[in-house]
Amino acid sequence: MEFQWLFSKEQPQQIKSFLKEQGVSKGLLAKIKFQGGQITVNNQVENVLYKLATGDQLKIMIPDEGQHETMRPSDSPITILFEDEHFLVVNKPTGVASIPSQYHTSETMANMVKGYYQRMNYKDQVIHIVTRLDRDTSGAMLFAKHGFAHALLDQQLRQKQVVKIYHALVGGMVDSLLDHAEIIAPIGRDMSSLLKRMVIETGKHAETEYWLEKKKNDWAFVKIRLHTGRTHQIRVHFESIGCSLLGDELYNGSMEQGIMRQALHCSYLSFVHPFTGEKISIDSALAEDMQAIIG
């Protein structure tokens, strides 16, 4: 894959420092050098120590990534919400893990995306997950289609420029919910469980913003934006205020509404496309089991 820049600075600059400013890592430079890539200035091959001058046309050729040899492709279909040569956003169904593990080895979203890449004969077949979701959480999930794109989106994640909006159905003390509020409480491990997290004074800072969209006697429908990314953050924070997610057995959620998984859906995500500068916004329709409840 080829990327290019027109050098417009007045002062000369080494290629390696200029590329660092563009988000090209040392690892990617090493890959270009040792795995068949190339750097050219005005169509002449140069190394990273070359000093760019005003008006120079810099190009880098990044070698194809091939594939994860140990990850098995799946023939299961995927629902695509957005795709271009750099990014793929899919709609993840409930009950499907994001990545292979000891208990979920072959029918994860990563396996399904690899199968899709193979069917499309894409040259880059390494799976780069930018935003993963819990197994029982549904909705929009973002993949980068090559390592450079992944690195640039990781920068946006660290700078909180990737926006994810969730919708959830919660039960319990729903009359205590405000129209708009923040839950700010530290989250750490629950030492009584290998899986659970809890609000605990010694935990890491966590911040969840929510908006109340609909309320019945025994449930409420809320829109949520995370301002930090702790494990199980939404589930833990809503349990801490007495409003556990419906179906969330691990965090004491009600099982009486017919939902047998945490009622959580990633309904929207947006990011600034690092190669075009365009704001990309993607919506994901609410999962059917949640839609059936809110009507």
pLDDT (0 to 100) of residue 65: 84
Give yes or no for residue 156 having a pLDDT over 70: yes
Angle at 275 between CA 269 and CA 281, to 5 degrees: 20
Q: Please provide the average confidence, as pLDDT, over all residues in the chain.
A: 94
pLDDT digits (tens, 9 = 90+) for 123-150: 999 999 999 999 999 999 999 999 999 9
| Every domain range in the chain assigned CATH 3.10.290 | 2-61
Q: Are 280 and 273 in contact (CB under 8 A)?
A: yes
| pLDDT, mean of residues 81-105 | 92
64-159 adopts what CATH topology?
A: Pseudouridine synthase (3.30.2350)
Which of 134, 154, 190, 283 is catalytic? The answer is 134
Exposed / middle / buried, residue 107 (Cβ in 10 Å: 0-12, 13-18, 19+): middle
pLDDT (0 to 100) of residue 294: 94
Least confident of 62-76, 85-99, 115-129: 62-76
Tell me the pTM: 0.90
Question: What confidence tier does 234 reach under pLDDT thresholds 50, 70, 90?
Answer: very high
> Considering the chain, what percentage of its residues have pLDDT values greater than 90?
87
* Catalytic-residue membership of 56: no
Contacts 24+ apart (CB under 8 A), 90-93: 90/140, 90/141, 90/143, 91/138, 91/139, 91/140, 91/141, 91/284, 91/285, 92/133, 92/137, 92/138, 92/139, 92/140, 92/141, 92/266, 93/138, 93/287
pLDDT (0 to 100) of residue 68: 66
| Every domain range in the chain assigned CATH 3.30.2350.10 | 64-159, 164-266
- Give the DSSP H/E element, type plus range, for residue 263: none
Architecture in CATH for domain 2-61: Roll (3.10)
pLDDT (0 to 100) of residue 230: 94
pLDDT digits (tens, 9 = 90+) for 169-181: 999 999 999 999 9
| pLDDT, mean of residues 8-32 | 93
Give yes or no for residue 33 having a pLDDT over 80: yes
The total of other beta-carbon atoms located within 10 Å of residue 185's CB is 19
pLDDT (0 to 100) of residue 45: 95
CA dist., res. 77 & res. 288, Å (int): 18
Q: Is 198 helix (H, G, I), strand (E, B) or coil?
A: strand
pLDDT (0 to 100) of residue 228: 93
CA dist., res. 272 & res. 264, Å (int): 25
| CATH (one of 3.40.50.740, 3.30.2350.10, 3.20.20.70, 3.40.50.10490) for 164-266 | 3.30.2350.10
> Considering the chain, what percentage of its residues have pLDDT values greater than 70?
99
Give yes or no for residue 105 having a pLDDT over 80: no
